[in-house]
Structure 1
Amino acid sequence: MRVAFYGSSLLSAYWNGAATYYRGLLRALAARGYEITFYEPDVYDRQKYRDIEVPDWCRVVVYQGTVAALKRVAAEAVDADVVVKASGVGFEDDLLLAEIMGSANSAALKIFWDVDAPATLAELRVAPDHPLRRALSSLDLVLTYGGGDPVVESYRAIGARDCVPIYNAVDPETHHPVPADPRFAADLAFLGNRLPDRETRVEAFFLDPAGKVGDRRFLLGGAGWDDKPLPQNVSYIGHVPTADHNAFNATPTAVLNISRASMAENGFSPATRVFEAAGAGACLITDAWEGIELFLTPGEEVLVARDGQDVAELMRMLTPAGAKEIGKRALGRVLAEHTYAHRAEEVDRVLRNRARQMEAAE
């Protein structure tokens, strides 16, 4: 199948947390025979901070952040068997949706792929006339970054024909154990960009615990934290390129996952970093959210913290040997059940089933 995928960016992870999700999933789909073209706008300086060059498994079209350029690339949707508009592209999202789906061949599968479903749904619930909400009934399928039954039921309730969560995973060729790197030496590390619905949780789960265990070294990575007051035992290293993610995850005694507020409240929304850390054999501590046991077993393959006090207690108790054992078990679990090859098999099945249903209905 030929796929036209319109997203934020495949080439750059700069202010673009969905990059590794796109890369892992689309690469695995390409391995199954899909011919993919990824369209991304040149906005937010992402092209200045590319993490990868154009891969051999996907054609990439970078277009200027203008309405005229948007319309030109949207017109190319007519040649695809599957047309995908992702959430959060970052330039004229509503217009892009209308132009893409208006250009798509009548026989093509038309999909909205939501990489931040809890936040999107919160916006749609209070906006009955939102362009996306009005368009849902004309789309064949909504795929999401996660969210479980709560997201599926919510999308169906506001007009989606069907909704299927496609969870994050690990690409073993990209995320894997590596030797420790002194740049990332720490007892606990957190990697995440500074966002409005994350900052308060970072304070509660990372900065406050750092103040309580002052004899432990904490490491903060990600964009936007430059002017944030930090405890003395927290080192800030700025944006961490994806090429350094394995070392960032494999070096500290433990790494921390902090969900964005909307995803934590909804549950069933493991971040990409959960699987990247596990893929590198890291000992992962995650904030508590419903559904974690579907991906990693608490206490054995992941440590779960209900609040900052739990994080502090875990850091007092955790030994390097115990951390290594947890990381080893997590790595085994994700390789067995949660690779992008597993996810691509699921996407392929969903798309082919939907295509057969469309043919039968004609």
Structure 2
Amino acid sequence: MRIVVYGLTVTSSWGNGHATTYRSLLKALTRRGHQIVFVEKDVEWYRSNRDLPRPAFCTVELYDDWAAEETRLVRLSLDADAVIVGSYFHDAIAASQALFAQVRCPVLFYDIDTPITLNRLRENGGTEYLDGRQIPAYSAYLSFTSGPALQEIEQRFGARRAVAFFCSVDPEIYHPTAIQAEFQCALSYLGTYAGDRQGKLMELLNHAAGMLPAERFVVAGPQYPDTLSWNANVERIIHLPPPDHPAFYSSSRFTLNLTRSDMVAAGYSPSVRLFEASACGAAILSDSWPGLTEFLTPGEEVLLPANGEEVARMVTGISEEERTRMGARARERVLAAHTSEHRAIEFERIVSECA
């Protein structure tokens, strides 16, 4: 197939989870013989932080102004076999209207932010990247979230078909590696700053760090305010490029997974970081949310501490043998169902059913 994707970014992983999600899926689709074009707005904050400017698995088409370049950008899809419009694509509403009018292949909406989208649809009837009135026009609505959200997307907002389409992990990149001293620590966290999960990060990591002053803790990710008060043994990494993620996870005794409030409320929303850490054999501590057990089994493949005191006990009290065994079980579970190859096959099936 020839597949055209209109998405937030594939060239820069700075401050977003979309890039690694797209890279994993598109690489697998290319490996299976498909041709991919990725359309991305050329914005300054990604232009200044491009860690994959020329992907080997797709052709990137950058643009500056949709209104001025619409004819060229839509023409890319006229001979496509499938088109994806992704959440947070900068001109998604205008692009979708043009695509509905001019292309004949399935046009699918890929929501990598379903809980946020649904909240805004309920409150305002749409978002900056999706007009609720457009939903019935998409051939399918691919949702980052499963569970009750799928029924709501169909019954309340009129989607022809809402399908769970989780993030995925590329096992060629994400796998256990040798420990690197620069990342070695008792507990790590990788994620962009978000105000609605910062309280959990301060409780579960920073509080635990205060109880264990001889241990090293690491928080990697951009946009954290300078006003935050970290304990002295918490180190910050402003941006960690994706090639360093496997070593980061493999060098942490434990790693922390935290979920944004909208995702917790919706449930059934596993982050790409959860799959990536699992694929690296990391021992994961996580907050709890509905549907988590469909992806990892608490007590066997993931641990769910309620507070910093429990984190401190887990970090210091669990044997190396059990920690390693828990990470191996999580890796086995994720590789059995959530690799990029699994998701590419699912995408092929969805498109064939839409055609």
The interval holding the TM-score normalised by the smaller chain is over 0.9
Q: Post-superposition shift, 1:55?
A: 2.7
CA distance in structure 1 between the aligned counterparts of 2:277 and 2:257, rounded to whole angstroms: 9
Give me the TM-score of the superposition, normalised by structure 1: 0.91
Q: Post-superposition shift, 1:261?
A: 1.2
2:222 maps to which residue? 223
The amino acid that maps onto 1:224 is: Q
SS of corresponding position for 1:170: coil
CA distance in structure 1 between the aligned counterparts of 2:70 and 2:201, rounded to whole angstroms: 36
1:170 maps to which residue? 169
The question of whether the paired residues in 2 share the 8 Å contact of 1:39 and 1:60 is answered with yes
The question of whether the paired residues in 2 share the 8 Å contact of 1:177 and 1:250 is answered with yes
CA distance in structure 2 between the aligned counterparts of 1:209 and 1:96, rounded to whole angstroms: 47
Alpha-carbon distance change, 92 to 314 in structure 1, aligned in 2, over 3 angstroms: same
2:303 maps to which residue? 303
Greater Cα shift, 229-238 or 185-194: 229-238
* Superposition pairs of residues 189-200 of structure 1, within 5 angstroms: 189-200=188-199
Q: Post-superposition shift, 1:226?
A: 5.3
How high is the sequence identity, in percent, across the aligned residues?
Answer: 34
Gaps of 5+ in 2: none
The amino acid that maps onto 2:333 is: R
CA distance in structure 1 between the aligned counterparts of 2:199 and 2:88, rounded to whole angstroms: 22
Greater Cα shift, 205-214 or 133-142: 205-214
Which of residues 145, 152, 155 in structure 2 aligns to 1:154?
Answer: 152
Instruction: Summarize deviations over 1:7-55 as a string: whole Å, max 9, x none.
Output: 0111210122111111111111222232211111111421222222423
CA distance in structure 2 between the aligned counterparts of 1:322 and 1:53, rounded to whole angstroms: 41
SS of corresponding position for 2:124: coil
Alpha-carbon distance change, 129 to 249 in structure 1, aligned in 2, over 3 angstroms: closer
CA distance in structure 2 between the aligned counterparts of 1:26 and 1:102, rounded to whole angstroms: 26
Alpha-carbon distance change, 75 to 148 in structure 1, aligned in 2, over 3 angstroms: same
SS of corresponding position for 1:223: coil
1:284 maps to which residue? 284
Q: Post-superposition shift, 1:354?
A: 1.8
Instruction: Summarize deviations over 1:310-362 as a string: whole Å, max 9, x none.
Output: 3333224233332222112222222223211112111211211121xxxxxxx
The reply to whether residue 128 of structure 1 matches residue 128 of structure 2 is no
CA distance in structure 1 between the aligned counterparts of 2:26 and 2:240, rounded to whole angstroms: 23
The question of whether the paired residues in 2 share the 8 Å contact of 1:287 and 1:307 is answered with no
CA distance in structure 1 between the aligned counterparts of 2:178 and 2:302, rounded to whole angstroms: 21
CA distance in structure 1 between the aligned counterparts of 2:67 and 2:287, rounded to whole angstroms: 41
CA distance in structure 2 between the aligned counterparts of 1:336 and 1:138, rounded to whole angstroms: 34
The reply to whether residue 109 of structure 1 matches residue 109 of structure 2 is no
CA distance in structure 2 between the aligned counterparts of 1:212 and 1:319, rounded to whole angstroms: 19
* Superposition pairs of residues 1-362 of structure 1, within 5 angstroms: 1-65=1-65, 67-69=67-69, 72-89=72-89, 91-103=90-102, 105=103, 107-128=104-125, 132-145=131-144, 147-156=145-154, 157-225=156-224, 227=226, 228-355=228-355
RMSD: 2.0
The question of whether the paired residues in 2 share the 8 Å contact of 1:201 and 1:261 is answered with no
Give me the TM-score of the superposition, normalised by structure 2: 0.92
CA distance in structure 1 between the aligned counterparts of 2:323 and 2:21, rounded to whole angstroms: 26
CA distance in structure 2 between the aligned counterparts of 1:71 and 1:48, rounded to whole angstroms: 27
CA distance in structure 1 between the aligned counterparts of 2:264 and 2:231, rounded to whole angstroms: 25
Instruction: Summarize deviations over 1:215-258 as a string: whole Å, max 9, x none.
Output: 43210100012512211121112110111101110001011111
SS of corresponding position for 2:77: helix
Q: Post-superposition shift, 1:289?
A: 1.3
The amino acid that maps onto 1:242 is: P
CA distance in structure 2 between the aligned counterparts of 1:328 and 1:178, rounded to whole angstroms: 13
Greater Cα shift, 232-241 or 294-303: 294-303
